[in-house]
Structures are given as structure tokens and as C-alpha cells.
């Protein structure tokens, strides 16, 4: 026998089982709180879709490590070189149209059916929450599958696929068609962000899932909910600037934690 091996093995199993029972307790504590909650709000970011194969923006393989945001996701970039901007969005649209919602997206859809009042606020433009079937969604940063006019802002119903060498123009004003997402330096839709503020203020429990919580105004929603009295749960594989505020810091993948939470909640709300 190799000296030290039994100790090593038993230490590893101790760590795993202690971690798992700690997580199990967190899951049941959060489910307990939710069973007595009236309003549940979930904020999601790019980490939510990571397990579906959509790259996040920051972190090791994040898009903003490989591409320059100011050349691809600003009005200046579009006015300067709309061809490159459309090539980038066509690439992302193609990527996103090939992926499926993951177990975390499905768990959020189930949460919606288990809670009396439920709102999902997402920074993601990938449409995966809708594909999963969640109904009550505030898309803070738009939806990559939609187009609008760069000048008059009117939505454009024309075919989604855009030829970057021949960008179509708006039927109302002749402006170029752009993707209906919020670029850096742009205002969010005031109706959508105001509703997100209101919902966050009224939340009894607020989940911040898979977001680095550094892009405003989205990043102000978890602190707002916490200040207004909500229990704040952060689900993120890494620490973020809002972690210290969270009542529960869940250092797990959303696709692993959220289904566990739903199962625990069902155990509390379903007869038998």
C-alpha cells in the first residue's frame, strides 16, 4: 500500500460529503423561505446559458477577452463599420440558434409555475428562457433575434437574416436595420428597466444567477432588492462584487443548483 493513500482518499470523501450536505442544507433552507414567499424575482446573466454552450462575456473564455466591445457593440462601431458589426451578430445568432435551454432554464420555468408571483429579469439576448417556456420575462438588453431601425427605432418585421454586404433599410424612414439589443453607452428601454426596478423593490426573494454584476443598471437590482427587504440568493461559480450582500452564496453551476431547488420546493408544495 502506498503510504498516505488511505488518508488522502478519506480526506477527499470527507470534503465532498461535507460540501454536499452543506449545499443540501442551503437548498432546503432556501426552499423553506420560498414556500412562505409571495414574490420571487430572478435576474440572470450570461453564466445562465454557459451550460448550453453560449460563451459568457468575461472570465477565462469570455467574448470580451477575444473581441473588442467598442468595435462591435456600440453605436459608433455600427456607424463606422456596420458590415463588421452585422458579421459579428450573424455569427452570434447562428451560434445561439443551434443551442438548447439547459436544466437551469427549465428549472426557472418550473419555478414560475410554483410561485404565486414570479418575474424573470434577464440580461441575456439569446432567447433561451423563452424557448424553455418561461412567460413573465423582462429582457433588459433586448433580443438578438429581433431587428430595429438605427434611426427611428421602430421594430423591423422583415426576415431575420441580414446580408452584411447589403444591409436592408427601414420601410418608415430609410435608416439602416440593426439588431434589437442594447449596446454599450445606450439607454435601456425605460418601460422595461422601470418595471425591473419595481419588481426588485417588491421581491420577497431575489436570485442573482450567472451574472458578474458589474454592468449597470442591471447590477443595481440585487442591492435594491436586498435594501428593500428581500432575501438575496446569489448563484455563481465565482465571487462577484455583490456576493458580500447575499444571504446565500451558492457556488454552484446554475444548471445543477436550480433543478435541486425546484425538487426541494416541489417536496414542500405538493401534497404527499
Q: Which three cell numbers stand for residue 18?
A: 461535507
Which phi and psi angles does 233 have, rounded to 5°?
Answer: -115, 125
Q: Which of 203, 226, 254, 265 binds ligand APR (CB under 6 A)?
A: 254
Q: Which is nearer to ligand APR, 170 or 179 (CB)?
A: 179
Spatial CA neighbour of 217 closest among 239, 190, 179: 190
237 touching ligand APR, by CB under 6 A: yes
Q: Which is nearer to ligand APR, 147 or 240 (CB)?
A: 240
Spatial CA neighbour of 135 closest among 161, 159, 117, 157: 117
Closest residue (Cβ) to ligand APR?
47
Active-site residue flag, 129: no
**Residue 24 CA: distances (Å) to CA of 84, 195, 218, 272:** 48, 33, 29, 21
Q: Which of 103, 127, 240, 249 binds ligand APR (CB under 6 A)?
A: 240
Q: What angle do CA 247, 248, 254 make, to 5 degrees?
A: 140
95 touching ligand APR, by CB under 6 A: no
Least distance in angstroms from the C-beta of 112 to ligand APR: 19
Least distance in angstroms from the C-beta of 202 to ligand APR: 23
Least distance in angstroms from the C-beta of 171 to ligand APR: 28
103 touching ligand APR, by CB under 6 A: no
User: Is the Cβ–Cβ distance between 30 and 260 less than 8 Å?
Assistant: no
Q: Out of 105, 106, 129, 141, pick the active-site residue.
A: 141
- Compute the distance between CA of residue 114 and CA of residue 209 in angstroms, rounded to an integer: 18
- Contacts of residue 234, defined as CB under 8 A and 6 or more positions apart, other chains included, come to 207, 208, 209, 222, 240, 242, 243, 246, 248, 249, 250
Q: Which is nearer to ligand APR, 127 or 170 (CB)?
A: 127
- Footprint on this chain of ligand APR (rule: CB under 6 A): 45-47, 50-51, 56-59, 62, 123, 141, 210-212, 215, 235-238, 240, 253-255
Amino acid at each position: 500500500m502506498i503510504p498516505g493513500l488511505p488518508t488522502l482518499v478519506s480526506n477527499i470523501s470527507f470534503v465532498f460529503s461535507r460540501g454536499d450536505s452543506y449545499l443540501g442544507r442551503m437548498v432546503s433552507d432556501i426552499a423553506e423561505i420560498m414556500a412562505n414567499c409571495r414574490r420571487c424575482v430572478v435576474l440572470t446573466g450570461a453564466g445562465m446559458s454557459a451550460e448550453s454552450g453560449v460563451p459568457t462575456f468575461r472570465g477565462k473564455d469570455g467574448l470580451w477577452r477575444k473581441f473588442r466591445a467598442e468595435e462591435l457593440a456600440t453605436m459608433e462601431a455600427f456607424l463606422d463599420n456596420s458590415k463588421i458589426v452585422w458579421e459579428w451578430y450573424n455569427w452570434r445568432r447562428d451560434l445561439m440558434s443551434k443551442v438548447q435551454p439547459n436544466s437551469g432554464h427549465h428549472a426557472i420555468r418550473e419555478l414560475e409555475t410554483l410561485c404565486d408571483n414570479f418575474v424573470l429579469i434577464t440580461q441575456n439576448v439569446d432567447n433561451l428562457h423563452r424557448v424553455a417556456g418561461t412567460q413573465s420575462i423582462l429582457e433588459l438588453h433586448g433580443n438578438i433575434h429581433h431587428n430595429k431601425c438605427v434611426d427611428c427605432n421602430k421594430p423591423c418585421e422583415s426576415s431575420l437574416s441580414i446580408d452584411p454586404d447589403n444591409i436592408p433599410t427601414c420601410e418608415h424612414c430609410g435608416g439602416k436595420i440593426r439588431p434589437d439589443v442594447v449596446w454599450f453607452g445606450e439607454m435601456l428601454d425605460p418601460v422595461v428597466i422601470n418595471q425591473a426596478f419595481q419588481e426588485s423593490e417588491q421581491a420577497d426573494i431575489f436570485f442573482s444567477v450567472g451574472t458578474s454584476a458589474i454592468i449597470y443598471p442591471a447590477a443595481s437590482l440585487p442591492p435594491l432588492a436586498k435594501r428593500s427587504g428581500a432575501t438575496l440568493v446569489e448563484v455563481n461559480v465565482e465571487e462577484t462584487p455583490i456576493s458580500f450582500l447575499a444571504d446565500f452564496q451558492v457556488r454552484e453551476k446554475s444548471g445543477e443548483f436550480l433543478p435541486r431547488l425546484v425538487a426541494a420546493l416541489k417536496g414542500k408544495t405538493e401534497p404527499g
